[in-house]
């Protein structure tokens, strides 16, 4: 493969469809920091580093999962169609994967180095906090700590980190904002884990959902993330008197519908809801809707879209305040 094809190959394997959530989280922090007179160039460099760390984390997840799969025939067979396909079919080997992860983390470190000279020592502290999560997310996730890692990474670490490199300060208000957004981002991951409940039980994978013993308990627990997100954004709106933040509450009916769709999925995975206009965007839906993945895909994308509308409403509030 030539260099362009190689780059496309590895970006595709790093699951770029997950980047919009990262971008939106960064965008909220960026808009807030820019309103405070933050350095826009530093914010953009931070975005590059964040995306590189995110992609390397996805590949690291494949790296450790593949090593585990190779030692577990039952899990290997159960996951054959979805996990590490590019390694299974010989398009790349585990050494190639390791080298790409090292390259991405090195490029992210370069971004961090630039920000260190522009913003100061605080960058080192954020890097030291993020690196263990990036490297060991797969292990944390398999032990039931994936939600904690995501909330920390997409919440305080990202938001305070972006704010710091742009303003060289910390902020309690952006901390509140970070928790609200991180809860919604984590709800997307949690919806994915909930729909993987049976497969994770089969493979003895410990997630927060499986630790709750039943799918019914796991679905009930999901409400904590959404309720927390709404509580934090309401508190921030009252504290700052920026009541435009409350536009994000318009996502509530969508959250209620998502719960109904997930409850239906728990009872029968084969039921595919009719795609309504408010479920969109659903990338490649015409190709997916007649496959066995359609039921999972629609619900997962809908969960992602709810988080998207929530954070776009917050960005709107920041821009017009």
Confidence of residue 83 (pLDDT cuts 50, 70, 90): low
Q: Residue 77: is its pLDDT beyond 60?
A: no
Q: Which of 301, 226, 299 is nearest to 268 (CA)?
A: 299
| Per-residue model confidence (pLDDT) at position 272 | 87
Confidence of residue 82 (pLDDT cuts 50, 70, 90): low
Confidence of residue 81 (pLDDT cuts 50, 70, 90): very low
Domain ranges of the chain: 1-170, 176-321
Note whether 112 and 123 are within 8 A (CB): yes
Q: Residue 67: is its pLDDT beyond 60?
A: yes
Rounded to an integer, the average pLDDT of 82-95 is 78
Q: What is the DSSP letter of 286?
A: H
Rounded to an integer, the average pLDDT of 108-123 is 93
Q: Residue 114: is its pLDDT beyond 80?
A: yes
Q: What is the C-alpha radius of gyration for the chain, rounded to an integer number of angstroms?
A: 20
| Per-residue model confidence (pLDDT) at position 216 | 93
Alpha-carbon distance of 211 to 218, in angstroms, equals: 9
Instruction: Give phi and psi for 167, each to the nearest 5.
Output: -125, -15
Alpha-carbon distance of 151 to 186, in angstroms, equals: 6
Note whether 115 and 42 are within 8 A (CB): yes
Note whether 311 and 22 are within 8 A (CB): no
Rounded to an integer, the average pLDDT of 213-230 is 95
Of 37 and 61, the structure prediction assigns the larger pLDDT to 37
**143: helix, coil or strand?**
strand
pTM: 0.88
Both ends of the chain: CA-CA distance in Å? 50
Q: Residue 205: is its pLDDT beyond 80?
A: no
Instruction: Specify whether domain 1-170 bears CATH 3.40.50.970.
Output: no
pLDDT tens for each residue of 142-152? 777 888 888 99
Q: Residue 74: is its pLDDT beyond 60?
A: no
């Amino acid at each position: 493969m030539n260099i362009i094809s190689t780059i496309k190959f590895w970006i595709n394997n790093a699951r770029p469809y997950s980047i919009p959530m990262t971008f939106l989280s960064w965008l909220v922090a960026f808009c807030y920091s820019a309103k405070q007179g933050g350095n826009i160039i530093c914010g953009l460099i931070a975005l590059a580093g964040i995306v590189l760390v995110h992609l390397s984390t996805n590949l690291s997840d494949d790296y450790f999962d593949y090593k585990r799969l190779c030692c577990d025939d039952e899990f290997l067979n159960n996951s054959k169609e979805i996990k590490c396909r590019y390694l299974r079919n010989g398009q790349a080997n585990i050494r190639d994967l390791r080298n790409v992860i090292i390259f991405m983390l090195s490029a992210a470190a370069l971004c961090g180095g630039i920000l260190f000279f522009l913003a100061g020592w605080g960058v080192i502290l954020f890097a030291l906090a993020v690196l263990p999560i990036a490297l060991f997310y797969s292990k944390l996730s398999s032990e039931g700590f994936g939600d904690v890692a995501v909330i920390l990474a997409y919440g305080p670490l990202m938001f305070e980190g972006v704010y710091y490199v742009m303003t060289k300060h910390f902020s309690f208000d952006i901390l509140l904002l970070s928790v609200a957004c991180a809860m919604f981002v984590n709800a997307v991951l949690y919806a994915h884990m909930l729909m993987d409940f049976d497969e994770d039980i089969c493979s003895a994978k410990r997630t927060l959902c499986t630790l709750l013993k039943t799918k019914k308990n796991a679905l009930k627990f999901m409400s904590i993330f959404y309720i927390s997100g709404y509580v934090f954004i309401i508190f921030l709106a009252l504290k700052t008197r920026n009541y435009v933040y409350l536009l994000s509450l318009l996502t509530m009916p969508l959250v209620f519908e998502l719960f109904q769709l997930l409850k239906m999925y728990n009872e029968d995975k084969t039921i595919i809801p009719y795609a309504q206009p408010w479920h969109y965007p659903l990338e490649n839906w015409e190709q997916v809707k007649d496959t066995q993945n359609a039921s999972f895909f629609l619900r997962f994308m809908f969960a992602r879209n709810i988080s998207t509308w929530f954070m776009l409403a917050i960005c709107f509030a920041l821009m017009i305040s």
